[in-house]
Amino acid sequence: MSAALRGFRGRALAIAAAGLTLRVLFTLLVARHHPGIGDFFFYHRSANALADGQGYIDPFLSAQGNPYPSALHPPLWPFALSVSSLLGGTGFTAHRLVGCLAGAVTVFLVGLIARRVGGERVGLIAAGLAAIYPVLIAADSSLMSEGLYGTMVAAVLLAALRAVERPTVGRIAVLGGATGLAILTRGEALLFVPLLLLPLAWRGGKRARVTRLAAALAAVMVVVAPWTVRNWIQFDRPVLVSTNDATVVAGANCRLVYRGPAIGLWDIDCISKVDRALDEAEQTARWRREGVRYARENAGRLVAVVPARVLRTWGLYQPAKGAEQSEGGARWMKRAATASYYLVAAAALAGAWVLRRRGATLLVLLTPVLVVTLSSAASFGLPRFREAAEIALVVLAAAAAGRPLASRATPPRPA
């Protein structure tokens, strides 16, 4: 073995390269023959429009010479795709390959996370599992934002574990910056601020507590504020990250998804028609009001609807339908992803038991699980919403597989 591959990082990079190869092969041989729907086309077209200098627009509502400014989705994933477009990769397959690159980075970061949790053996097991995990392969090749979101969540968890070991102002600021990037990829990452960032900033010596809290919030603001300011200027009203929550609220709160076999899902027929006289912020504000009004008028149904949403996301309600709704395109890949998820989830439960005495470390790894659960409860249930939690599940599963070393690993130094 060459000297470059003898160290942990070298071996983890080799595993990430293998993971990249698998993703590229799956994209070229399978995924590209299965086009997506909805947001799939939005990301693709908006990235090309951004590369053409049209800015962040809605590609469906824009007309030639009359762009329709948009903040329907956070900006980071279209921006990443636009780099491919600027280099000439404007097609669906080229954009899918950007997700494959993000997935390879995720594999490497998962290895680093798991090494901090249980040592080098656990780190390599986790990287290897992430490299071949069908759920992650399918997400990374889907052209959806989940691939990049997984990378950002992995960065957040790695920064959080470093802050657990030593909660300095600098490490807390890095965690805040990583959280900001995750927020600019998917809006539900805002939940990491109260659930992870601020609690870790609060830990440690009281003397620097205020400084750490200020650094945490400042780091998030430095990353997110330019996009928020752009939105405020564009729409003449505050839009923190995106307007997508309005279509989620409207589509997940109507008669079609409050009863019957589709309970807990989302339906486009729940959303009223677009009024072209309104800009996006005004239109989405109307949709948000409609969805909230229906939820209030039918609050008694939420005791059934909310659990159905959460259970759908975790594959515990109508699992066969959940398998159909998962990423992967080909039926065999969807089945492989679903089956592997249940195996990894079971191993993750064992891994959580192994790490039960590692309080802060285990809480960091369980935070994405809580984020996924809360965001599903507030929106609707879909397997791909598990992306943030999948990163933690892989690490926990590796901790169970490498139990002899994990149980001997030195816990992080207390603050």
**CA dist 178 → 154, 155, 159, 171, 197 (Å):** 9, 6, 8, 11, 10
pLDDT of 164 strictly over 90: yes
Number of neighbours of residue 66 by Cβ within 10 angstroms: 8
Element spanning 17, H or E: helix 8-29
Q: Tokens 């019957």 label which residue?
A: 260
pLDDT of 95 strictly over 50: yes
* Domain range list for the chain: 3-406
Residues 6+ apart with CB under 8 A from 314: 373, 386
Mean pLDDT of 176-181: 98
Q: Are 107 and 123 in contact (CB under 8 A)?
A: no
pLDDT of 174 strictly over 50: yes
Q: What is the dihedral of CA 133, 138, 144, 146, to 10 degrees?
A: -10
Q: Tokens 């990452």 label which residue?
A: 189
pLDDT of 1 strictly over 70: no
Q: Tokens 């959280």 label which residue?
A: 179
pLDDT of 42 strictly over 60: yes
pLDDT of 3 strictly over 90: no
What phi and psi values does residue 57 have, to the nearest 5 degrees? -130, 165
Element spanning 348, H or E: helix 331-354
Residues 48, 83, 160, 369, CA torsion sign? positive
Among 78-92, 324-338, 339-353, the range scoring the smallest mean pLDDT is 324-338
pLDDT of 317 strictly over 50: yes
- Which residues are 63's β-sheet partners? 66
0.85 surpassed by pTM: yes
Distance CA 223, CA 241 (A): 11
Mean pLDDT of 369-381: 97
Distance CA 50, CA 35 (A): 22
Mean pLDDT of 345-373: 94
At 272, which amino acid appears?
S
Helices (H), 184-330: 192, 198-202, 209-235, 244-251, 255-258, 280-297, 302-313, 319-325
**HSE on the CB side for 344, CA within 13 Å?**
28
Distance CA 16, CA 362 (A): 25
User: Smallest Cα–Cα separation from 178: which of 228, 225, 216, 140?
Assistant: 216
Distance CA 209, CA 168 (A): 10
DSSP 263: T
255-300 pLDDT per residue, tens: 999 999 999 999 999 998 888 788 888 899 999 999 999 999 999 9
Distance CA 25, CA 156 (A): 28
Better-scored residue on pLDDT, 360 or 135: 135
Mean pLDDT of 347-360: 92
pLDDT of 343 strictly over 60: yes
Number of neighbours of residue 362 by Cβ within 10 angstroms: 20
Tokens of 84: 């491919």
pLDDT of 238 strictly over 70: yes
CA end-to-end span of the chain: 39
DSSP 37: -
- SS3 state at 63: strand
pLDDT at 66: 80
Residues 6+ apart with CB under 8 A from 133: 340, 344, 390, 394
pLDDT at 2: 57
Q: What is the mean pLDDT of the chain?
A: 92
116-131 pLDDT per residue, tens: 999 999 999 999 999 9
383-414 pLDDT per residue, tens: 999 999 999 999 999 999 887 544 444 444 44
Residues 36, 108, 81, 56, CA torsion sign? positive
43-60 pLDDT per residue, tens: 999 999 999 999 999 988
- pLDDT band for position 212 (50/70/90)? very high
